[in-house]
């Protein structure tokens, strides 16, 4: 089972429901075989984008293209897109194998061949032993594997996944994330994956698009979005972050909210109104010292790491994460500490 | 646990007592009448009914009428329910109100209106003759046709609403899934929506059938001598001929048929609840 992924293009797509604008000037290009994730809170427009691509929602204006051909006026069944839903959506009156063979049946594939291809798809997701079970006899993870097999058995060039792991528990979610990634690599189809879970987005995607209020705020590979967020929203939505307002003194020197004047290279922050810095880039010095004095407000023990919530003398909360060696002492809340940061680690943000 | 039980018993007691006195006891009395003449057990009433052509014909007619009315209700009601399921929730509530409107009007009045519509001098006959389509007025009233029309009108809302519930029970994502997998809207309906809602529609049909079996007012007012149903015959035996034992045998036959239908109904609902767990746990 393999297919050459198709390219997908959204061009200035707009969709509104009454006064609510679900998508505004939405443009995006997804390359062949790329794993693209739409990341956003509910109501951000990510599901609307997916429904528009699948043909479940009509768009007000703009164009959607697969491999350069406009599909805007094609009905869903002619678009040849595989889709996996959060609710699994297995047909409850059909057993596993007849669920998987459904798309082949719709395409008039002869019975014997449909059976053979369905068995192959089930073997890929390791569900071939349960081919005769009914959906209600399967666990959530098993159901989603069957739904995945059903969505790819007809070798679609585009696969859409709408929060497919949202109904599963954490442990299973992590296992299935790796499986999905592996299957996609085997098949080679282009995937658009919708989720509100930033961890999932970072793990799975080749590129991800952070969405808010019907717009794309930033698109890029996971490392780029993590290392160089451009806006406050992205900085806070992708991973944990410290956000600091920039204040400028009359003499042109730069100060940060709660931290005061900062020394070092600040050329890249010239235009910034806000800066962010990741908790793991904050160096806590437990033995006194450190440029910025602070008090330990809270200590959270994670096993392999410790998270400190520091309160600067100007009452600004700074969060820091430190790897921890076995036996290393964890400082209690209330202790006086200091911390340092490299100004080159500060990321300039617009509004 | 013990307190829970006492509480449950106390809460159920009034209704149970009422049902026992007003329902179980009389029904038991009727059942006794069929095989016991007051002094000793006898098979005479059963034998008489079995030998009576009238009783057999009317019993048969009752079942055939019930089946026909149910079929008409399903054929008319399911598409109507499917249409309603596709409406926005707001409009669906409105449509439901319209469907339920006749329920607030007495069954007697609803039946009498058919006399105005179907009579020799009724609206239908007048329209037909004024259009020159018929010379003589057509005999509609006091025929089996009138009985069927009247019964369908009264029972249709029940069938529409049960069909609607079963269609709405089919997860919308299933239709979306079918479409994304290559099914046309027609295929999605026949392969997914229909098989998943048909057992629900069937339960509606069974409710309709059971209600048909006991219909009394409509055949009395709209049916002629040749279209009386079992309930009319029972009434005749009770009030006119005073043959209570024969009435009891026919009533018991009706009861038996109803129980048989209920068994099928339970079977169907069991199957449905199994399906319901097919999607997300709700």
Q: Digits of tens for pLDDT over chain A (351 positions)?
A: 667 889 999 999 999 998 899 999 999 999 999 999 999 998 899 999 999 999 999 999 999 999 999 999 999 999 999 999 999 999 999 999 999 999 999 999 999 999 999 999 999 999 999 999 999 999 999 999 999 999 999 999 999 999 999 888 888 898 899 999 999 988 999 999 999 999 999 999 999 999 999 999 999 999 999 999 999 999 999 988 999 988 877 777 788 888 888 877 777 887 888 999 999 999 988 777 788 888 889 888 888 888 999 998 888 899 999 898 887 777 788 888 889 888 889 999 986
Pick the residue from chain B with its C-alpha nearest to A92: B278
CB contact under 8 A, A93 and B279: no
CB contact under 8 A, A91 and B174: yes
Residue A58 in contact with partner chain B when CB distance is under 8 A: no
* Contacts with A90 from chain B: Cβ below 8 Å: 278-279
C-beta atoms surrounding A128 within 10 Å: 16
Pick the residue from chain B with its C-alpha nearest to A95: B278
* Contacts with A134 from chain B: Cβ below 8 Å: 278
Q: Could you tell me the CA-to-CA distances from B260 to A26, B56, B64, B256 in Å, in that order?
A: 60, 19, 16, 6
Q: Which pLDDT value is given to residue B274? A: 60
Mark which residues 16-35 of A lie under 8 Å from B by CB: none
A68 and A7 in contact (C-beta within 8 Å)? yes
Please tell me which of the candidates A80, A93, A151 has its beta carbon nearest to residue B195.
A93
Query: How far is the alpha carbon of A26 from chain B, nearest alpha carbon, in Å?
Result: 23
Q: Which pLDDT value is given to residue B102? A: 86
C-beta atoms surrounding B111 within 10 Å: 20
Domain ranges of chain A: 8-236, 240-349
Longest Cα–Cα distance of chain B, Å, equals 78
Residue matched to tokens 């089919």: B170
CB contact under 8 A, A92 and B278: yes
Find, among A242, A256, A243, the residue nearest to A321 by Cα.
A242
Domain ranges of chain B: 53-242+250-276
Residue A83 in contact with partner chain B when CB distance is under 8 A: yes
Q: Which helix (H) or strand (E) holds B263?
A: helix B244-276
Phi/psi class of residue A81: alpha, beta or left (left: φ > 0; alpha: ψ in -120 to 50)? Answer: beta
CB contact under 8 A, B275 and A81: no
Mean pLDDT of B52-77: 93
Residue A135 in contact with partner chain B when CB distance is under 8 A: yes
Q: Assess: ipTM above 0.90.
A: no
To test the contact with chain B by mutation, choose from A91, A136, A138 the residue with the greatest count of B C-beta atoms within 10 A, namely A91
Longest Cα–Cα distance of chain A, Å, equals 81
Q: Which pLDDT value is given to residue A287? A: 76
CB contact under 8 A, A85 and B177: yes
Q: What is the CA radius of gyration of chain B?
A: 23
* Contacts with A166 from chain B: Cβ below 8 Å: none
pLDDT at B86 over 60: yes
pLDDT at B277 over 50: no
Please write the tens of the pLDDT for every residue from B134-169.
Answer: 778 888 888 888 999 999 999 999 999 999 999 999
Query: How far is the alpha carbon of A82 from chain B, nearest alpha carbon, in Å?
Result: 6
A159 and A194 in contact (C-beta within 8 Å)? no
Find, among A30, A20, A70, A79, the residue nearest to A51 by Cα.
A79
The fold adopted by the segment(s) A8-236 is Rossmann fold (3.40.50)
Q: Is domain A240-349 annotated with CATH 2.40.50.140?
A: yes
Confidence tier at B273 by pLDDT (50, 70, 90): low
Pick the residue from chain B with its C-alpha nearest to A149: B181
Alpha-carbon distance of A83 to A160, in angstroms, equals 5
Terminal-residue alpha carbon distance, chain B: 28
Residue A75 in contact with partner chain B when CB distance is under 8 A: yes
Confidence tier at B40 by pLDDT (50, 70, 90): confident
B53-242+250-276 has which CATH code? 1.10.3720.10
Please tell me which of the candidates A83, A134, A167 has its beta carbon nearest to residue B177.
A83
CB contact under 8 A, A134 and B179: no
Alpha-carbon distance of B199 to A61, in angstroms, equals 42
What does pTM read for this prediction? 0.82
């Amino acid at each position: 089972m393999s297919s050459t992924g198709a390219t997908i293009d959204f061009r200035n797509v707009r969709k509104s429901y009454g006064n609510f604008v679900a998508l505004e000037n939405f443009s995006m290009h997804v390359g062949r075989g790329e794993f693209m994730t739409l990341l956003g809170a509910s109501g951000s427009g990510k599901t609307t984008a997916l429904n528009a691509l699948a043909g479940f929602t009509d768009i007000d204006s703009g164009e959607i293209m697969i491999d350069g051909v406009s599909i805007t006026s094609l009905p869903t069944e002619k678009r040849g897109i595989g889709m996996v839903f959060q609710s699994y959506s297995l047909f409850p009156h059909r057993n596993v194998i007849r669920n998987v063979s459904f798309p082949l049946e719709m395409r008039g594939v002869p019975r014997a061949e449909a059976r053979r291809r369905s068995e192959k798809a089930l073997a890929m997701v390791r569900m071939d032993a349960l081919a005769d079970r009914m959906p209600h006899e399967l666990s959530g993870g098993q159901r989603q594997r069957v739904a995945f097999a059903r969505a790819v058995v007809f070798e679609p060039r585009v696969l859409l996944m709408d929060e497919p792991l949202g109904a599963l528990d954490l442990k299973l979610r992590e296992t299935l994330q790796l499986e999905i990634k592996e299957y996609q690599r085997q098949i080679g189809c282009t995937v658009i994956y919708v989720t509100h879970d930033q961890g999932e987005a970072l793990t799975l995607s080749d590129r991800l698009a952070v969405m808010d209020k019907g717009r794309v705020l930033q698109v890029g590979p996971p490392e780029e979005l993590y290392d160089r967020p451009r806006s406050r929203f992205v900085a806070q939505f992708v991973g944990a972050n410290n956000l600091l307002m920039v204040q400028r003194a009359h003499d042109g020197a730069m100060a940060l909210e709660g931290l005061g004047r900062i020394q070092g290279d600040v050329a890249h922050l010239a235009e910034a109104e806000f800066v962010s810095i990741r908790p793991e880039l904050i160096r806590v010095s437990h033995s006194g010292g450190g440029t910025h004095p602070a008090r330990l407000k809270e200590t959270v023990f994670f096993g392999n790491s410790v998270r400190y919530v520091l309160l600067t003398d100007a009452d600004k909360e700074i969060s820091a994460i430190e790897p921890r060696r076995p036996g290393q002492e964890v400082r209690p809340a209330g202790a006086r500490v200091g911390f340092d940061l490299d100004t080159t680690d500060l990321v300039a943000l617009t509004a | 646990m013990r307190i829970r039980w006492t509480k449950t018993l106390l809460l159920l007691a009034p209704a149970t007592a009422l049902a026992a006195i007003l329902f179980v006891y009389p029904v038991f009395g009727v059942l006794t009448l069929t095989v016991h003449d007051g002094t000793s057990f006898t098979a005479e009433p059963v034998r008489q009914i079995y030998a009576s052509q009238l009783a057999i014909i009317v019993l048969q007619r009752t079942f055939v009428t019930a089946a026909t009315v149910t079929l008409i209700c399903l054929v008319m009601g399911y598409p109507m329910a499917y249409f309603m399921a596709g409406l926005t929730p707001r409009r669906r509530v409105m449509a439901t109100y319209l469907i339920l409107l006749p329920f607030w009007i007495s069954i007697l009045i609803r039946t009498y209106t058919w006399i105005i519509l179907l009579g020799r001098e009724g609206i239908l006959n007048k329209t037909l003759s004024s259009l020159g389509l018929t010379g003589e007025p057509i005999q509609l009233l006091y025929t089996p046709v009138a009985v069927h029309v009247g019964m369908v009108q009264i029972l249709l809302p029940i069938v529409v609403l049960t069909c609607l519930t079963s269609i709405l029970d089919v997860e919308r994502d299933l239709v979306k899934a079918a479409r994304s997998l290559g099914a046309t809207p027609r295929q999605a309906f026949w392969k997914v929506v229909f098989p998943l809602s048909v057992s629900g529609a069937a339960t509606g049909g069974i409710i309709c059938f059971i209600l048909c079996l006991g219909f009394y007012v409509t055949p009395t007012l709209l049916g002629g001598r040749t279209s009386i149903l079992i309930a009319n015959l029972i009434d005749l035996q009770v009030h006119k001929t005073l043959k209570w034992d024969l009435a009891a045998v026919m009533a018991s036959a009706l009861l038996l048929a109803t129980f048989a239908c209920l068994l099928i109904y339970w079977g169907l609902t069991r199957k449905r609840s199994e399906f319901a767990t097919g999607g997300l746990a709700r």
